[in-house]
Amino acid sequence: MKLVGDGYAGGFSCGLTMHGSRTMERFALKEGNEEFEEGKTVYEDEEGLVLSLTKKRDGEALRVKTSVANNSGKRVNLEMLTSFALGSVPADRIHRLQTFWSAEGKLRTESVKDLHLEPSWNRCGLRIEKFGNNGSMPVRKYFPFLALEDSATGEFIGIQLYLASTWQMEIICKEDDSLTVTGGLGDRDFGQWMKTLEAGESFDAPEAVIAKGRSLYEVCDALVKAQHPAISDVDSGMGIMFNEYCTTWGNPSFENVKKIADKLEGKGIKFLVIDSGWYGADAWWECVGDWKVNEERFPGGMKPIADYIRSKGMIPGLWYEMESLASGSVHYNEAEHLIRKDGVPLTIGGRRFWDLEDPWVIDYLSEKVIALLKEAGFGYLKVDYNDTLGMGCDGAESMGEALRRKVAASQRFFEKIRNAIPGIVIENCSSGGHRLEPSMMQLCSQASFSDAHEIKSIPLIAANMHRVIKPEQSQIWAVLRAKDSRERIEYSLIATLFGRMCLSGDIYDLSDEQWAAVEEGMEFYRMAADIIQKGKTILHRYEETGYNEPKGQQLLIREWNGKYLAILHRFADSVKWEPEIPAGGRVIAEFGSGSGDFSAKSWVYEA
């Protein structure tokens, strides 16, 4: 923790880190210990400021939560408070997950020497690697994730932050070859965050989860299994969905959605989701925020089409971007209800944002979102979010704290939706994967793994997600085209085995032979569903140099209860890898050929 007015650490570190400030020198350990074990650790200073760390086991992981209570009788101003701090960590390799739009979660591994984190010759200068994200898209450039490896012992430590606004992590070296690792809210230097605590007030830092293991996938599995999302009961069976976006390209109507529903009837599809374009005028992207049904497309509103989808045996879903407004919205200039920065509405690429701390906005969205979903009978909600608030906004003692509060208010509205419509399935989408962090994932049943809909690197991106989210939540699209060969259909469908199968595309133009391949893939998915949902990833082997033109091949194996799911994708210049099935094992089912470049094959087998 760092308080305003206290001295910084020195060692040429001011502006790079607030770690090691004079603030912590005044604290003494009053309760517990500083070991990596369950319990509570409490520090206190002579004036009554109390810093406590609660540590609780969750499977193979440790949940940690930091709180500060101001019992000093006077106001204090924080400018840094970490969620966790690990000292004397032996490590020589650092693993991060780098991410950009439609290229989420690429593993970036660097040595401590590459990062220049060796101690200086006389141990007086700090060496620091500080990284994170500013804004309301917490998965942008990096996931809030870090793993450290000690290759001498084979030990790994992995960390995930539960934070949907600005976050940071720091790796610090000073006195020896071990590292200090901290993380949490973006501090005053990094995220313009300050927090005032009046006498008697307290504040909780966002939660962090930490795990140890003997491999990267072992710690990732422990971290992911410590996530406890609010998956709807109706969504617990790994049902297949269809989203019409890559069929109508933003032009849904009663007639074309009806045509889709007729085609899908009896094919075992659980959800049929109507994506963007059901509202406003023809330029629907300019009408975000009004949520007025386009009755030329949907005469009589959305209830007739929702009822029709249900009559065909599927649960209807609807897309919203409920936290944003576009320039064509009638509310676009109502500054009193919008998030502001420097006194004016914060505008990002033509988007503005509702202030969900404003009761008027909550009432408005309750009518436009919750009431419409309930009255029309939708059981699935896709929540998109297509830009970021950036560094911060007005509304609190600092821009960073105001940003944290606005994002927390958005999360409370997710909870309001779930409470108002029990059992609703909520999909977390933010231009694909920009909000794939645990505090958002725990509010939802599913998430868009990416906006990568038809590109060659979908299998690479989808496999990356195993390190950070539950595969049962990771919705992966297979966009089917009338021109697709059987190998291309297999390539797309087998990619969905990394998570949840979502279909889209030219379904009413597919030939009988193409549909036979699709239905064979769907049947294989259902057979593998328990392994996807409950299993553990035990192998991920790949050779690739880029995502736009991937080369080599990828093999991933997931195990559950003595059964294995192996997923092979071949890219350019590939060779055929196959799983090594032990003697006495047997293949239960296969799908795909894996016969050449840009083909795929999958196996379910038992040892």
- C-alpha count within 13 angstroms, C-beta hemisphere, residue 37: 4
DSSP structure string for 253-283: -HHHHHHHHHHHTTS-EEEEEE-S-SBSSSS
- Residue 13 CB: number of other CB atoms within 10 A? 19
Judge if 255 and 210 occupy the same domain: no
Mean pLDDT of 140-165: 98
Is the per-residue pLDDT at 121 higher than 90? no
By C-alpha distance, which of 470, 563, 509, 487 is closest to 230? Answer: 470
Q: At 438, which CATH number?
A: 3.20.20.70
Examine the domain organization and report whether 50 and 136 are in the same domain. yes
Residue 315 falls within a domain, yes or no?
A: yes
Inter-residue contact 245 to 276 (CB < 8 Å)? yes
Q: Are residues 161 and 291 in the same domain?
A: no
- What is the mean pLDDT of the segment spanning 74-97? 97
Which DSSP state fits 444? -
- Percent of the chain whose predicted confidence (pLDDT) is above 90: 94
Sign of CA dihedral 221, 227, 228, 234: negative
Residues spanned by the domain of 60: 2-223
Could you tell me if 329 and 287 are in contact, meaning their C-beta atoms sit under 8 angstroms apart? yes
Neighbours of 118 (CB within 10 A): 11
CA 443 – CA 231 distance, rounded (Å): 8
User: In terms of Cα–Cα distance, which of 202, 201, 204, 199 is closest to 47?
Assistant: 199
Q: Are residues 208 and 271 in the same domain?
A: no
Residue 215 sits in a domain of what CATH number?
A: 2.70.98.60
Contact 41, 55 (CB under 8 A): yes
Domain end (from 396, 414, 448): 448
Instruction: Find, among 559, 400, 383, 554, the residue nearest to 471 by Cα.
Output: 559
Do the Cβ atoms of 289 and 324 come closer than 8 Å?
A: yes
Burial class (CB in 10 A: 0-12, 13-18, 19+), 243: buried
Using the 3D structure, point to which of 425, 448, 471 is the last residue of a domain.
448
For residue range 170-206, what is the model confidence (pLDDT) as tens digits?
999 988 889 999 999 999 999 999 999 999 999 999 9
In a domain, 19, yes or no: yes
Are 203 and 334 within one domain? Answer: no
Confidence of residue 576 (pLDDT cuts 50, 70, 90): confident
CA dist., res. 596 & res. 233, Å (int): 41
Q: Take residue 449 and report the two structure tokens written for it.
A: 């793994």
**Structure confidence at residue 455 (pLDDT):** 96
| 544 domain residue, yes or no | no
CA dist., res. 9 & res. 6, Å (int): 10
Domain boundary among 424, 448, 472: 448
Handedness of CA 437, 440, 445, 447 (dihedral sign): negative
Q: Is the pLDDT of residue 483 over 90?
A: yes
Poorest-pLDDT segment among 11-25, 253-267, 456-470 = 11-25
Please tell me the predicted confidence (pLDDT) of residue 545. Answer: 75
Query: Which SS3 state, helix, strand or coil, does residue 477 take?
Result: strand
| Helix, strand, coil shares, percent, the chain, to 5 | 25, 35, 40
Of 302, 301, 281, 279, which is closest to residue 292 (Cα–Cα)? 279
Q: Specify if 564 maps to a domain.
A: no
479 belongs to a structural domain: no
Q: How many domains does the chain have?
A: 2
Confidence of residue 248 (pLDDT cuts 50, 70, 90): very high
Regarding whether 300 and 165 lie in a shared domain, the answer is: no
Average pLDDT of span 478-490: 98
H or E element that contains 286: none
Strand 49-58 vs strand 145-150: parallel, antiparallel, or unpaired? Answer: unpaired
DSSP 203-217: EEPPPEEEEEESSHH
Q: Identify which of 424, 430, 493 has the alpha carbon closest to the alpha carbon of residue 458.
A: 493
Residues 214 and 241 in one domain: no
Give tens-digit pLDDT for 393-409. Answer: 999 999 999 999 999 99
Q: Which residue has the tokens 């140890």?
A: 212
Nearest Cα neighbor of 435 from 448, 454, 418 is 448
CA–CA distance, 334 with 345 (Å, rounded to integer): 9
Both 60 and 97 in one domain: the answer is yes
Sole residue written with tokens 């239960």: 588
Contacts of 173 (CB under 8 A, 6+ apart): 112, 117, 118, 119, 126, 127, 128, 179, 180
Residue 598 lies in a domain: no
The SS3 assignment for 493 reads helix
What is the mean pLDDT of the segment spanning 350-369?
98
**Same domain assignment for residues 192 and 330:** no
Phi first, then psi, for residue 562 (nearest 5°) are 80, 0
Considering the domain architecture, whether residues 88 and 27 belong to the same structural domain is answered as yes
584, part of any domain: no
Q: Please report the pLDDT score of residue 155 as a whole number.
A: 97
Residues 94 and 61 in one domain: yes
Q: Which residues contact 73 (CB under 8 A, 6 or more apart)?
A: 47, 48, 199
In this predicted model, what pLDDT tens digit does every residue of 522-574 receive, in sequence order?
Answer: 999 999 999 999 999 999 999 877 899 999 999 999 999 999 999 999 999 99
Predicted confidence at residue 547, as pLDDT, reads: 93
Contact 321, 387 (CB under 8 A): no
Q: Is it the case that residue 519 has pLDDT exceeding 80? A: yes
Answer yes or no: do 7 and 89 share one domain.
yes
Mean pLDDT, the chain, integer = 96
pLDDT for res 176: 87
Asked if residue 228 belongs to a domain, the reply is no
